[in-house]
Amino acid sequence: MRYGNVSFHKQSHGEGFLSLIENRFQGNGIYLMDEPESALSPSRQMSLLIDIDNLVKLNSQLIIATHSPILMSYPNSEVIYLTPDRIEKINYKETENYKITKQFINNPEQMLKYLLED
């Protein structure tokens, strides 16, 4: 199977996923995605943000289950936090994934010491 000019068999999982979005997703659609970042590096997650933005500009609605602070940062998106006890709209900077990622990036040595100390 081919999307674009390259066979899926010649692409990584992440590149194949991006190729699928770029070549098969059209405007005026509703798209459901479950953790699309799972096979993407941070820079390719940013490429996905561009694809998402293009779809939104073409009047598409996207519902994305994600743990990625990069994807959650999409402007004017609604981040819905689900737990067994509640469902609430929150700012992406309030999510646990954002806070942990920020904490790690700001001081990886301290986080590694905490995680790996006996």
Query: What is the residue extent of each domain of the chain?
Result: 2-77
Structural tokens at position 22? 């770029």
Residue 16: count other Cβ atoms within 10 Å of its Cβ. Answer: 19
Q: What Cα–Cα distance (Å) separates residue 47 from each residue in 51, 53, 62, 85?
A: 7, 10, 16, 34
- Name the pTM for this structure: 0.84
Q: Does 118 score more than 80 pLDDT?
A: no
Position 24 confidence tier, pLDDT thresholds 50, 70, 90: confident
Position 15 confidence tier, pLDDT thresholds 50, 70, 90: confident
CATH code assigned to 2-77: 3.40.50.300
Q: Does 4 score more than 70 pLDDT?
A: no
Helix (H) or strand (E) holding 10: none
Note the pLDDT of residue 7. 65
Q: Does 2 score more than 60 pLDDT?
A: no
Pairing of strands 79-82, 87-90: antiparallel
Check residues 69 and 118 and name the one with the higher pLDDT: 69
CB 51 within 8 A of CB 21: yes
